[in-house]
Amino acid sequence: MHAALRLAPGLRALLDEQDGGSFSIRPADGVPGTQRYLPNTNVLETRFVSPDGAFRVLDFAPRFTLYERSFRPTKLLRIVEPLSGTPRIRVSCDPVLGWTRERPRREFGSHHISFHGFDAALRLTTDAPLSYLDGEPFALSARKHFVLAWGAPVEEPLEPLCERFLRETVRYWQQWVKHCDIPPIYQEEVIRSALALKLHCFEDTGAIVAAMTTSIPEAPGSGRTWDYRYCWLRDAYYTLGAFRLLGHFEEREQFLQFLLNVAASAPDLELAPLYRIDGRNDLEEQVLDDWPGYRGERPVRIGNGASTHKQHDVFGEMVLALTPLFLDARFRDQVTPPVLDLVTRLARKAVTVAGQPDAGIWEYRAQWRPQTFSSLMCWAAADRMARVAMRHRPADTEEFAAAAGRIRDEILRRAVDPSRGCLVADYGGGEVDAALLQAVTLRLLPFDDQRLHATVDAVRLDLTHDGWLKRYRTNDGFGVPAVAFMLCTFWQVEALARLGRVEEARALMERVREVNSPLGLLAEDLDPVSHAMWGNFPQAYSHVGMIHAAFAASPRWSEFGA
């Protein structure tokens, strides 16, 4: 993913259809098109059929290996190809200057338009007539090429450049997919989720972004509009787990560098829940009152107030993100004294904050309480660190094994409903939340322990809405959530499979497949009644959930007859 493309004109058009800026290629008569990805790639094809002819648009960001390095220039390429007849098309490139809505000054060259006023040069280079690039209809009689470049412009012949970039990018993605491990069933869903997750990785720093958009509401009229264009440490951990299932590990190595950078700027390890992709944490939440919002749903927010929260689970997730480096012989070169010191400090921090009130995984903006999920992650940090210490720092083994035992005992004493025998969302409370399903995945108790089964059943009973799970049913400061959070249902699939209830897990996966979007991309939220997706889109969390659930519910290849 490229930082420039993350703020491409289309994002702001979602939030202001009239004045938000856009780069559109469409038929002159406005007939809608149909979309698909070229097989096993992130190259998008849009086909249009009109009475005067048909054409397609191929959209992609170039990516391939060049001189033994990843070549990913900050450019968006669009190739327009006539398929039949002589279609008439409209092209309009109308960027805006940030959130000001001001238009940049345009300077016309022989085959390009430069847009002045941005932090770096922005230029559209094309072999189409420049006179038609303000939306004037023209006949498409031959293949046309458009390159929107941030930074270094295109100076070489355009057509061979675009055709080479397309060919190499398709080859790169198809080869990348071939190197993915996939389960025998749910293959298409896993491949598309893997490709989507890869686009959320900012390789320059190793950050992993939660979503590409801001302020798409969780539900109509909810006011729940958040900016997700940042790296949540928690989300990154789950994403790395998905890549590990896929057999890809370079993302973990890159994220390690991001985490080392973040930790270096916080000597006391008071980690924030989220950071910018460059590791900064200046994320003051602002409301842009003059932006109408997605379908008129306000407010439009930039920044995120959760950056100031205490979310104690992040220490556990960072320990879990690093644990494979110490237990997997393939990563011996990553086991350095600074990394071992970091994971040890993170584990001790987790032990220190376990059981203290915090905003938790759901980032409550109401009164904070000791969240069971946060303590669960702190327990996992101590438990996994004991295993790491046994191999790499034996003198610390007993410290962390004892701490893990204390935290687990406290969870079972303070966070189990005595009447139902299930875990509850916070210490001394009576409600459940969907994050409790992670107690199964993290192996807090043996899989035959009835408290795990009771927790899975209580979550399903209390939080199911037309077959899909809500996060919780309590007032979080903005009211009670009205829609399902897609990740939670995937967690349910995974928990059921881990407990041996595989048929239930597969039946739930079939229900999930019924509402998959045409492109296979998943948003954050779902209206279980209408099956309309809501929330920021595409959402890394949802695709992470899909991958974990698919691997958990699928048989092994040896059981599949392969």
| Per-residue pLDDT, 364 | 81
Could you give the CA distance from residue 157 to residue 160 in angstroms, rounded to a whole number? 6
Show the tokens assigned to 127. 């072999």
**What is the mean pLDDT of each successive set of 10 residues along the chain, which is 562 residues long?**
38 82 93 95 97 96 88 94 96 92 93 94 95 93 96 91 97 96 95 96 94 94 93 93 94 90 88 94 94 93 92 95 91 89 95 94 83 97 97 96 98 96 95 97 96 97 93 84 93 97 94 84 93 94 96 88 62
Contact 87, 144 (CB under 8 A): no
Q: By CB neighbour count within 10 A (0-12 exposed, 13-18 middle, 19+ buried), where does 221 fall?
A: exposed
Contact 79, 58 (CB under 8 A): yes
Could you give the CA distance from residue 374 to residue 309 in angstroms, rounded to a whole number? 13
Could you give the CA distance from residue 550 to residue 177 in angstroms, rounded to a whole number? 16
What is the dihedral sign for C-alpha 456, 461, 466, 470? negative
Could you give the CA distance from residue 73 to residue 174 in angstroms, rounded to a whole number? 19
Q: Is 80 helix (H, G, I), strand (E, B) or coil?
A: strand
Q: 455-462: long-range contacts (C-beta < 8 A, 24 or more apart)?
A: 455/422, 455/423, 456/492, 456/495, 456/496, 456/499, 456/501, 457/422, 458/417, 458/420, 458/422, 458/432, 459/422, 459/432, 459/433, 459/434, 459/492, 460/492, 462/431, 462/432
Q: If you search the block for the tokens 């296979």, which residue do you land on? A: 520
| Per-residue pLDDT, 11 | 60
Q: How many CA atoms lie within 13 A of 261 on its CB side?
A: 18
| Per-residue pLDDT, 562 | 58
* Amino acid at residue number 5: L
Closest CA to 439 of 450, 455, 426: 455
Contact 384, 396 (CB under 8 A): no
For helices 187-198 and 158-178, the axis angle rounded to 10 degrees is 130
Q: 286-290: long-range contacts (C-beta < 8 A, 24 or more apart)?
A: 288/99, 290/101
| Per-residue pLDDT, 561 | 66
Show the tokens assigned to 22. 């856009």
Contact 255, 234 (CB under 8 A): no
| Per-residue pLDDT, 62 | 96
519 contacts: CB under 8 Å, gap ≥ 6: 35, 36, 37, 44, 192
Could you give the CA distance from residue 546 to residue 536 in angstroms, rounded to a whole number? 16
Closest CA to 113 of 97, 98, 130, 95: 130
φ, ψ of residue 260 to 5 degrees: the values are -60, -40
- What is 356-425 written as a DSSP string? -EE-TTTT-SS--EEBHHHHHHHHHHHHHHHHHHHHH-GGGHHHHHHHHHHHHHHHHHHSB-TTT--B-S
Residue 35 region, left (φ>0) first, then alpha (ψ -120 to 50), else beta? beta
Closest CA to 466 of 516, 519, 515, 502: 515
Show the tokens assigned to 289. 């009152």
Show the tokens assigned to 116. 């002045």
Contact 430, 419 (CB under 8 A): no
Q: What per-residue string of b and e applies to 74-111 under the rule 16 or more CB within 10 Å gives b?
A: bbbbbbbbbeeeebbbbbebbbbbebebeebebeeeee
Contact 74, 2 (CB under 8 A): yes
Domains and CATH numbers, the chain: 3-175 (no CATH), 179-556 (1.50.10.10)
Contact 1, 201 (CB under 8 A): yes
**Peptide bond connecting 370 to the previous residue in cis, omega within 30 degrees of 0:** no
Q: In DSSP terms, which residues pair with 116 in a beta bridge?
A: 105
φ, ψ of residue 77 to 5 degrees: the values are -105, 140
Could you give the CA distance from residue 341 to residue 263 in angstroms, rounded to a whole number? 11
Could you give the CA distance from residue 96 to residue 178 in angstroms, rounded to a whole number? 39
Reported in sequence order, the residue ranges of 34-85 that DSSP labels E, i.e. its strands, are 34-37, 44-50, 53-60, 64-66, 69-71, 75-85
Could you give the CA distance from residue 363 to residue 450 in angstroms, rounded to a whole number? 29
Could you give the CA distance from residue 82 to residue 64 in angstroms, rounded to a whole number? 27
Distances, alpha carbon 151 to alpha carbons 28, 386, 387, in Å:
31, 48, 47
